[in-house]
Amino acid sequence: MNSEIATPEWDAIVVGGSAAGLSAALMLGRARRRVLVLDAGSPRNRFAEHMHGVLGNEGTPPSELVRKGRDEAAQYGVRFAEGRADSVEELPRGLRVVDEAGAAHDARSLVVATGIDDELPEIPGLAERWGESVLHCPYCHGWEVADGRLGVLATSPAALHQASMVRQWSERVVLFSAALGDLDPAFEARLRSRGVEIVPDPVEALLGEDRALRAVRVAGGREIEVDAVFTAGVPRPHDGFLERLGLDRAELPFGMGSFLGVDPMGRTSHARVWAAGNVVNPMANVPMVIGAGASAGAAANGFLVEEDFDLAQEAGRG
Ligand SMILES: Cc1cc2nc3c(=O)[nH]c(=O)nc-3n(C[C@H](O)[C@H](O)[C@H](O)COP(=O)(O)OP(=O)(O)OC[C@H]3O[C@@H](n4cnc5c(N)ncnc54)[C@H](O)[C@@H]3O)c2cc1C
């Protein structure tokens, strides 16, 4: 082994300590790796009071899952630091993560699980109801508003699919279609065949008491009564801090934009960097990102296992 190359302090740094990152950290910790989780503490679902569709954690508050996950990972020696990664640079046999406060953390491998921001439509009354009566996904929140008057606020062609989906949870669905322009008459007829109402006027505001929703006001002043609205923001991945590594990217469908490219285990185009969760797949819910995080953590450990043998052989042991 080249004795001039220092061994980094950590076997793995996991950037992002929510569902995906904690799952990766749990795998790495149980593999007896020295693991640091660096987390800025703002999971995507922090706007919702409860999580749904998460086996074993049905109805659990999002913050409770993070608390449990941290406790479980800590049992295996995983350490935690609060902060936001600002940049990552190469070391001879590893990577250096520098946080916004300027602290440097060196590791042999990196798992990125930093999630996304939902860039929401700029409509008065919308953002403050996000996660309560303005919802992103019927699998997560459809049951709670089932049989209510449900709106679907189109932001991209994917809304046509969303309107069909939401119809499964209620017979009273209104598609606010202004963002789509003229609809394909065949598809419009298909939606109407199951009673989906289509309102083409631009939406001006969402109205109601506190975080509850009462109505959607459209251009011309008409108010359409709804109990909840489903919509989609533009997903913005938290991956700018990786820029110096020049990782390969892939364009996702439905105008979701450019995301890090990964293999089925979450490995990026860099041999020491994995990415998992919403940062690479904005469509994934909590159980999906837990699975992806577990894959990435195991794959990072697999890489370290092989490197341990490589280093032993380089050192002439065997
Ligand atoms: C309103 C709402 C409600 C939802 N409800 C449900 C539900 O009921 N059921 C369900 O299954 N899914 C739900 N989801 C989806 C769920 O939020 C995501 O699937 C899940 O949070 C993705 O987990 P993640 O670990 O990939 O990212 P996140 O949970 O977003 O965690 C990313 C973590 O990385 C941190 N971070 C970001 N950048 C940096 C950086 N540079 N350095 C350090 N740390 C950083 C963040 O602060 C955060 O703690 C909901 C989403 C929304 C928007």
Domain boundaries, the chain: 10-118+234-317, 121-231
Count CB atoms within 10 A of the CB of residue 286: 26
CA–CA separation, 221 vs 238, rounded Å?
38
pLDDT per residue, tens digit, the chain (318 aa), is: 455 678 889 999 999 999 999 999 999 999 999 999 999 999 999 999 999 999 999 999 999 999 999 999 999 999 999 999 999 999 999 999 999 999 999 999 999 999 999 999 999 999 999 999 999 999 999 999 999 999 999 998 888 899 999 999 999 999 999 999 999 999 999 999 999 999 999 999 999 999 999 999 999 999 999 999 999 999 999 999 999 999 999 999 888 899 999 999 999 999 999 999 999 999 999 999 999 999 999 999 999 999 999 999 999 877
Domains 10-118+234-317 and 121-231 share a fold: yes
C-alpha 268 to ligand 1 mean position (Å): 20
Residue 113, ligand 1, Cβ within 6 A? yes
Output the CA 103–ligand 1 centroid distance in Å: 24
Rounded to the nearest angstrom, the distance between the alpha carbon of 62 and the centre of ligand 1 is: 9
39 Cβ closer than 6 Å to some ligand 1 atom: yes
Q: Report CA(18)–ligand 1 centroid distance (Å).
A: 6
44 lines ligand 1 (CB under 6 A): yes
Residue 220 to residues 86, 225, 228, 260, 284, Cα–Cα distance (Å):
46, 15, 21, 43, 38
Query: What is d(CA 15, CA 296) in angstroms, rounded to the nearest whole number?
Result: 12
Q: Rounded to the nearest whole angstrom, what is the distance from the C-alpha of residue 42 to the centroid of ligand 1?
A: 7
Kindly report the protein residue whose alpha carbon is nearest to atom 21 of ligand 1. 44
**3-state SS, one letter per residue, for 139-204:** HHHCHHHCCCCEEEECCCCHHHHHHHHHCCCCCCEEEECHHHCCCCHHHHHHHHHCCCEEECCCEE
What residue's CA is closest to ligand 1, atom 53?
Answer: 45
Q: Which CATH code is given to the segment(s) 10-118+234-317?
A: 3.50.50.60
Which fold does the domain 121-231 belong to in CATH? FAD/NAD(P)-binding domain (3.50.50)
pLDDT of residue 4: 64
pTM score above 0.85: yes
| 189 contacts: CB under 8 Å, gap ≥ 6 | none
Q: How much is the pLDDT for 46?
A: 97
Q: What is the DSSP letter of 7?
A: P
**Mutate which of 64, 114, 128, 133 to test ligand 1's pocket (most atoms within 8 Å of Cβ)?**
114
Question: Can you give the pLDDT at residue 1?
Answer: 43
